[in-house]
Amino acid sequence: MGVLAELGEVAQAMTLSHVQLALSRQVQDRELEACALHDLGVLHNERGNLRGVQSLQQALRLFRAIGLVEGGAYTQLNLATALLLAGQVAAARAALQGALTLADRHGLGTVQTFALAQQGALEVPHDPARAEVLLRAALREQQLNADRPLWEAVEPLARLLLAQARPHEACLLVAAFTRAAQAQGFEVLAMQGHGLLAGLHDHLGQLQLALHHLQAHTTAFKQLRGEEHERRVQALEVTHRTALLRLQAEAEEARAAELTRLLQMDELTDLFNRRHLLTAGAELLRGQPGAVAVADLSSSLLIFRSTERSEYRKKYVAPGVETVRCSPEQSHHEGQRT
């Protein structure tokens, strides 16, 4: 799901998550169900709609019921985002505090990093001093846990420093972040860093540096868009080939089934033939008594079940040979009289 979401295929990722959810409920796998609900909530958050709250709350209840602490902690992080989208700031704070409590209690360093970053970003407009403390604590945790470069803390902290007339500190912070992102291969994060640096240097009147970072940002953006387009084309090609192979397999199965039917059915009477008896007879008679009846229909009396066999009568019945049509009921009564 995450790969599809990163490629921008959120709708397809949501479809697969719904399938996963249905299957998990069918097989009564509560952990898989909780993960599917969590993924749906995250995808709703990425779409910016309000349905993520319900999915994530359901996931949280399941994670708690089955005792998966880490799953519950990550769910509370994403639930906080969903609650903020819904304008429920107090509930979002409570969710973040719950995630922090679990992180402290169970040593979940990455959860603690992101919870501190989200708490700090949330406090920027209300309590800048506390926000800076929380954001710097998040950056320290990120370094201790060797997590990826933390844009979630760097971006709000840089803007906070700029608002406090500390642009040089902001430049140093973002420059270090951008170098780390480039060194670790996080192209998207590096692109974001260059974009923010362009704005900071422009604010300082350092136009040449601003232009340099703007060009780096634009180049990275074009490259990433091109790679994304190529990945989407490749994904579509794979989907097309998969669908084609599935259709071919279905056609082969249908042909095989028809061939099997033709090999085991008499073309004239639509009755099973000797080959069917040799193929399926042992299985039909296994564990139960049975008998085989053989009838010779090659004499002068031919019985046809319907008028659809007229072409066979013309082809196979010699002139002067009597043909009789009878229903199954008539055949039954004739058998009783004999």
pLDDT at 31 over 60: yes
Q: What radius of gyration do the chain's Cα atoms show?
A: 36
pLDDT at 324 over 50: no
Between CA 213 and CA 220 the distance in angstroms is 10
List helix spans (H) across the chain: 2-6, 10-26, 30-47, 52-66, 69-85, 89-106, 109-123, 128-145, 151-163, 167-183, 187-203, 207-264, 274-285, 310-316, 328-337
Give the mean pLDDT of 197-225.
Answer: 91
Cβ atoms of 188 and 224 closer than 8 Å: yes
Q: Which position has the higher pLDDT, 8 or 7?
A: 8
Q: What is the pLDDT of residue 326?
A: 44
| Burial zone of 258 (CB within 10 Å; 0-12 exposed, 13-18 middle, 19+ buried) | exposed
Q: What is the pLDDT of residue 295?
A: 66
In angstroms, the Cα distances linking 292 to 202, 285, 295, 304 are 95, 10, 10, 22
239 φ/ψ sector (left φ>0, alpha ψ -120 to 50, else beta): alpha
Between CA 200 and CA 320 the distance in angstroms is 106
Q: Which of 229, 225, 220 is nearest to 187 (CA)?
A: 220
| Burial zone of 160 (CB within 10 Å; 0-12 exposed, 13-18 middle, 19+ buried) | buried
Between CA 275 and CA 264 the distance in angstroms is 5
User: Tens digits of per-residue pLDDT, 254-305?
Assistant: 888 888 777 888 777 777 777 777 777 767 767 777 776 766 655 544 444 4
pLDDT at 8 over 90: no
Between CA 39 and CA 21 the distance in angstroms is 10
Cβ atoms of 56 and 79 closer than 8 Å: yes
DSSP assignments along 256-274, one per residue: HHHHHHHHHB-TTT--B-H
